[in-house]
């Protein structure tokens, strides 16, 4: 090959590399769609007409983020963390929606004990309500949900609940397209799982019938101070979950960010204050939120829409992420 031909080839390769980096980085920015954010009240059931009420409204209050542009979009159910409010994630949900997804965040409970069975059943009931086309009336004009399948995501204990649904702890009427767990937690420490336990600590992987993404935090396993235990304790958090995932799966960890850093910049009330006071945090929430939202979109684009470019770009060039990634692992099919 002549010198001029080598130069052209190298220039072409360099241009492709720059395009890949730019494409992968775009996923961490707000997408091309404007978004709406709607609060949907739960159905007021009565002893006389529970069936009628279930059609009129969802079994739990919902926060729904959707694109404003007319079209049909895949649906993602996002489950909040322990004792959190669904609206603490409004900016994250809108980031995902801006890239062409309808994101449904149920408020599973106000207060809850250690047993997650009620949350699992409530999340399954929300998915069944979606399958009955209960969502359409809460969406912008000419925006339609694609309900051939549903993706399930969750943060912290919500990540555990998402795994539980994927593993069949409660039956749902929609097939699973993808599973995304954001810093999932299965208890207070190794040997102290909350019921029902998800992690098995066996060599046999969990039988999840869908691709899995596990997002972790570097500071989640670190206590904030001597009074507060870690919010995502070692042995029951992201690394343990990924260890038990079968292919296809991926694992991304934000080194310098904590367990609640993907929440809104401002989280109000006593619960909102606790998200900062209890868990060790990074310097600012915006970079972590952009990372989590972008990683979710990249994963969904590949496994729901068959467009792998963004996820492949993150895999090949992790430095395009707005945070430093200490772990980038992929298990291929």
pLDDT at residue number 22: 42
Please name every residue paired with 143 in a beta bridge, in sequence order, or none if there are none: 71
What digits encode the pLDDT tens for the residues 4-47? 555 434 444 443 443 444 456 699 999 999 999 999 999 876 55
The pTM is what?
0.90
Mean pLDDT of 198-224: 96
pLDDT at site 3: 55
CATH code of 307's domain:
3.40.50.1820
- Looking at the predicted structure, is the pLDDT value of residue 226 above 90? no
Q: Which among 26, 128, 183, 186 is annotated as catalytic?
A: 183
What is the mean predicted confidence (pLDDT) over 41-64? Answer: 72
Of 33, 80, 238, 259, catalytic: 259
- Nearest in space to 209 (alpha carbons), one of 172, 244, 177, 169: 177
Checking if the pLDDT of 128 tops 50, the result is: yes
Least confident of 33-47, 70-84, 116-130, 245-259: 33-47
Give the pLDDT band of residue 333 (cuts 50, 70, 90). Answer: confident
Domain that holds residue 279: 3-331
pLDDT confidence of residue 14? 43
- In angstroms, the Cα distances linking 284 to 4, 162, 262 are 48, 27, 10
Active-site residue, 99 included:
no
pLDDT value for 227: 85
Whether 80 is catalytic is: no
Distances (CA, A) of 247 to 93, 128, 330: 26, 27, 8
- Asked if 133 is an active-site residue, the reply is no
Q: Please count the structural domains in the chain.
A: 1
**Looking at residues 270-279, what average pLDDT do you find?**
94
Of the listed ranges 6-10, 95-99, 312-316, 324-328, the one predicted with least confidence: 6-10
Question: Which stretches within the chain are classed as H helix?
Answer: 3-26, 50-56, 90-97, 117-131, 157-166, 238-243, 269-277, 285-303, 309-316
Say yes or no to pLDDT of 142 above 60: yes
pLDDT at 167: 98
Point out the catalytic residue in the list 138, 156, 237, 281. 156
């Amino acid at each position: 090959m002549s010198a001029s031909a080598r130069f052209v080839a190298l220039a072409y390769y360099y241009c492709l590399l720059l395009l890949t980096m730019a494409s992968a980085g775009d996923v961490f920015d707000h997408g091309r769609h404007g978004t709406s954010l709607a609060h949907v009240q739960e159905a007021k059931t009565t002893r006389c007409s529970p069936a009628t009420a279930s059609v009129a409204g969802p079994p739990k209050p919902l926060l729904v983020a959707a694109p404003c542009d007319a079209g049909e979009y895949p649906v993602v159910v996002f489950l909040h963390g322990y004792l959190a409010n669904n609206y603490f994630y409004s900016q994250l949900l809108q980031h995902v929606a801006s890239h062409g997804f309808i994101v449904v965040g149920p408020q599973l409970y106000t207060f809850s004990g250690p047993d997650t069975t009620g949350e699992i059943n409530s999340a399954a009931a929300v998915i069944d309500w979606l399958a009955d086309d209960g969502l359409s009336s809460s969406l912008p004009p000419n925006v339609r949900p694609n309900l051939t399948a549903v993706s399930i995501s969750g943060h912290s204990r919500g990540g555990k609940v998402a795994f539980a649904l994927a593993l069949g702890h409660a039956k749902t009427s929609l097939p699973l397209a993808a599973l995304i767990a954001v810093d999932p937690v299965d208890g207070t420490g190794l040997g102290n799982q909350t019921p029902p336990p998800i992690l098995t600590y066996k060599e046999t992987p969990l039988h999840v019938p869908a691709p899995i993404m596990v997002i972790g935090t570097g500071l989640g396993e670190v206590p904030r101070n001597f009074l507060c235990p870690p919010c995502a304790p070692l042995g029951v958090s992201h690394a343990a979950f990924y260890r038990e995932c079968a292919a296809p799966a991926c694992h991304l960890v934000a080194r310098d960010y904590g367990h609640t850093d993907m929440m809104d910049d401002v989280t109000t009330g006593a619960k909102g204050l606790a998200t900062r006071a209890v868990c060790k945090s990074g310097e600012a929430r915006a970079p972590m939120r952009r990372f989590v939202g972008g990683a979710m979109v990249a994963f969904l684009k590949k496994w729901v829409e068959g467009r792998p470019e963004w996820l492949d770009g993150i895999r090949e060039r992790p430095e395009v992420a707005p945070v430093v990634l200490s772990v980038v692992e992929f298990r291929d099919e």
